Structure 1
């Protein structure tokens, strides 16, 4: 008998879709969601997701193979839709028989969903509005993640609780919907499952797990932080297609403001087009995040974190985090 029967009953559709014991996805965090954390989450019964980010096809090929060597459980790959080599990355996923591909960062370009499904994989999409969600699901998306602005990294403008109230009643009967953004405890998981979600996605809660390769100073910054320290970046130029990013405030957030001015000037001069401008912004974040996660430069790097960061107080094994979340969810459902 399961220790979490009520929770798992509500998660059953999500578990069947993912092929996992628990319908708990790890959000794709560049430089953090790599072979060690991804395999640990999958081995603990959750669903790890490799953050491809700005990886080349060759690097992704290596990362998938290395992850496969560390787990025989299902895991996915998160691809950024604006990546200039998206179709090549999809081919790499197909070569390795990756079962689930998460498309993030915008509307999937023509042919990308078809290419993924051509390899027999499932497609997980993000959508900021209900109308777009319905369109993406009609166009081949097998499951949807709704992510509120409390999340870390790239965010939309609407809170998770509002998105859940809008999306779940309209989609829960015919579609698979996972909820993300600001989830730090199992009581919240229970609430979203009761509303019709088939599972949840967490990132910040796993960023400082024992198995995470993040630098000790990166983790210490999380342990010190409260919800109010995780702030969203400000868009300076309305022409510049900058998706806000939530991170712990430091000198790096000020550097992003300067980067926007620089790219905006290049747009004025006609030196770059909009696609190139957005790519330069993405490359800025990839570099700034690496400085924080890998090098431990918590002053100048990007400390991407969701508002649930205040609930991250110590380094814990992934299996312990998942067990605690499930126990909290089960207790909440048992009190209903």
Structure 2
């Protein structure tokens, strides 16, 4: 399946793996790229040298293109922005801010820049700033979210910009990929499905929690302070929501989740940890290799789009 995105990124399938903090490391990124999609290393709050080592380790596992997701709110964003140039990374996706100050450096280095956006206004701003494409991410996603749904956001962004649009949020199978294409997207970005891949280093407890999730099992914390995060319900989310209702400060609430994602991903604490996952978790029912996932989804999507 050829689109402007597959051509731009030099990939076989229009599937991009989300740059999830603690989850999107070199094993997963390399496996997705090797399977024909685009694997991303999640920069998150990691120092530049840590990201550099992740890039190099991924390159030992695949010769295919890989990308790096840079969280612009990270205290190390300036470092990581330079590292991707020094390491010759082909693609950068960005979140949590405006990448404008890095754009000339990245474009001069020939890097494809794809910001994640949650609104039409931001998509247009990114296009004017020189972005090569945008990821329109709906509120169904796991982790930090906006308000618009994928179903409403993707077509509006596709109508508003001339650069290619990648759909994200609530996509976990071939039906979701086909639907995204019908909405005007030319690729999809997926996170939750890849969390349970065999190559994912996520703790087995986390994987089992995602695979066992029902359709109503996700919760959003942090709305009262303008920092909504979607994760699976557990003791932590119940406590967080209770404190929100009591009007606790942002600092008090943040203390509750401090280190929570690492606790869930690495230590397997799915009771008090932050189990980030999208609403699509209720459809994720098995652990597979990235190759099996991508080929199964693309076969289903191509059959639907050929009807």
**TM-score of the superposed pair, with normalisation by structure 2:** 0.93
> Structure 1 285/53 Cα, relative in aligned 2: closer, same or farther at 3 Å?
farther
1:222 to 210, 218, 221: 210
2-structure distance, mates of 1:53, 1:284: 19
Q: Which has the higher contact order (CA 8 A, sep 6+)?
A: 1
Decide whether the 8 Å contact of 1:176 with 1:198 is kept in 2.
Answer: yes
Task: Name the count of aligned residue pairs.
Answer: 304
Query: How big is the shift at 1:262?
Result: 5.0
1:182 to 133, 151, 170: 170
More off after superposition, 227-236 vs 40-49: 227-236
1:251 to 232, 235, 246: 235
Q: Tell me the C-alpha RMSD between the 2 structures.
A: 2.0
> Structure 1 183/301 Cα, relative in aligned 2: closer, same or farther at 3 Å?
same
> Structure 2 stretches of 5 or more lacking a match?
none
Decide whether the 8 Å contact of 1:36 with 1:211 is kept in 2.
Answer: yes
The alignment status of 1:318 with 2:290, answered yes or no, reads yes
Query: How big is the shift at 1:255?
Result: 5.2
The aligned counterpart of 1:268 is: none
Alpha-carbon displacement from aligned partner over 1:204-242 (angstroms, at most 9, x marks no partner): 1111001111111111111110121011114334xxxx4
Larger Rg: 1
1:168 to 143, 148, 158: 158
1-structure distance, mates of 2:111, 2:267: 35
Query: How big is the shift at 1:263?
Result: 4.1
Query: How big is the shift at 1:125?
Result: 0.8
The alignment status of 1:28 with 2:38, answered yes or no, reads no
Decide whether the 8 Å contact of 1:147 with 1:180 is kept in 2.
Answer: yes
Trace 1:7-22 onto structure 2 (pairs within 5 A): 8=1, 11-22=2-13
What is the SS of the residue equivalent to 1:168? helix
More off after superposition, 28-37 vs 127-136: 127-136
2:36 to 38, 42, 45: 45
Query: How big is the shift at 1:248?
Result: 0.3
The aligned counterpart of 1:78 is: 69
2-structure distance, mates of 1:66, 1:125: 24
The aligned counterpart of 1:3 is: none
> Structure 1 284/76 Cα, relative in aligned 2: closer, same or farther at 3 Å?
farther
More off after superposition, 125-134 vs 211-220: 125-134
The aligned counterpart of 2:124 is: 134
**TM-score of the superposed pair, with normalisation by structure 1:** 0.85
Decide whether the 8 Å contact of 1:44 with 1:322 is kept in 2.
Answer: yes
2:265 to 268, 278, 293: 293
> Structure 1 107/220 Cα, relative in aligned 2: closer, same or farther at 3 Å?
same
The aligned counterpart of 1:270 is: none
Query: How big is the shift at 1:256?
Result: 4.4
1-structure distance, mates of 2:173, 2:112: 28
2-structure distance, mates of 1:211, 1:80: 23
